[in-house]
Amino acid sequence: MSTHPGHGALAGIALATAAVACFATLDTTTKYISVGVPVLMALWFRYLFQAVATALVVLPARGLSVLRTRHPRFQCLRGVLLLLTSLFAFFSLKYMPVGEFTAIVMITPLVITLLAATQLKERVSPLRWALVVGGFTGTMIIIRPGSDDFNWTLLLPLGLVATNAWFQVLTSQLAKTEDPITMHLYTGWVGALLASLALPFVWTALDSWTLWAALCLMGLMGTVGHFLLILAYKRAPAATLTPYLYAQIGFAMLGGWLVFAHVPDGWSLAGIALVALCGAAGAWLTVRESRVLVEPVES
């Protein structure tokens, strides 16, 4: 059996890489506006942009039939999980560098392994447990509890990891049967409607066109990035795509350097490298195990 990915897998890899580039741009822009825009107001704008832009493009062509779904409760739950993920992300980026934040977030696949073992009762090999431990060790090196640089805000990305893990599991399952456009619409509107509840309490007039431009860029990157990721999961399995998602760390570090002139210190770089290594190794192990299962059937 050929070990080279097919055209569908290559397209999925390209889409996933483009998606994480969008997410890194979104995170960098979020940190930039966090000084002048209330977090909840920025969150509302990000979701409203996605919801309105998607509706304006989709509804004239597809009509209201695009809202039909077999799993309305799961669609709404997915929207809530992404909103919580974004909330943790916005508050995290307000207080910490983009590269270190992204590296912590990228332990999500390892947390999914932990969920599979503890909640879904799936068998997890000792090597996978070692990778999970290694990923958490890398995270602790970045956070460094007890050091002079540590404060409670460094724990915010861990809340994001928990909600993002469940979001990714649900996305992967729904993408097997649901229209990606339908998923995209529900995600945007659930987030926009829930964020609107807080808007009267946080609204602030913005007198700078650069902040408005940054808000628009943030909304555009979130909208395009999530749509590309859904399309990627349609074309390739999660195990194939996961190693390439770690490119987001590189994009995030580049954004942090270009916009904020920030370069991670030696300890942070070591933690980032360990997280990326363990996560990519876990994805490679998944691909290897799946090939072992498939090859006897195709021989």
pLDDT digit string (tens) for 55-85?
888 889 888 888 888 888 999 999 999 899 9
Asked if residue 202 has pLDDT above 50, the reply is yes
Residue 223: inside a domain, yes or no?
Answer: yes
Most confident of 2-16, 120-134, 154-168, 274-288: 154-168
- 217 pLDDT band, cuts 50/70/90, is very high
Predicted pLDDT of residue 5: 52
Asked if residue 188 has pLDDT above 80, the reply is yes
Predicted pLDDT of residue 290: 56
Residue 258: inside a domain, yes or no?
Answer: yes
- Token pair of 223, please? 């909208």
Residue 163: inside a domain, yes or no?
Answer: yes
Residue 138 and residue 108: Cα distance in Å, rounded? 13
Residue 283 and residue 294: Cα distance in Å, rounded? 17
Give mean pLDDT, residues 167-173: 80
Residue 1: inside a domain, yes or no?
Answer: no
Residue 68: inside a domain, yes or no?
Answer: yes
Residue 2: inside a domain, yes or no?
Answer: no
At residue 269's C-alpha, the angle toward residues 266 and 270, to 5°, is: 85
How many domains is the chain partitioned into structurally? 1
Residue 44: inside a domain, yes or no?
Answer: yes
Closest to 100 (Cα-Cα) out of 142, 153, 162 = 142
**What is the chain's mean pLDDT, rounded?**
81
Residue 196 and residue 192: Cα distance in Å, rounded? 6
State phi, psi for 131 to the nearest 5 degrees: -70, -40
Give mean pLDDT, residues 194-215: 88
Residue 261: inside a domain, yes or no?
Answer: yes
- Token pair of 133, please? 């431990």
- 297 pLDDT band, cuts 50/70/90, is very low
Q: Find the domain containing 120 and state its range.
A: 7-298
- 1 pLDDT band, cuts 50/70/90, is very low
Given a contact cutoff of 8 angstroms between Cβ atoms, the answer to whether 85 and 194 are in contact is no
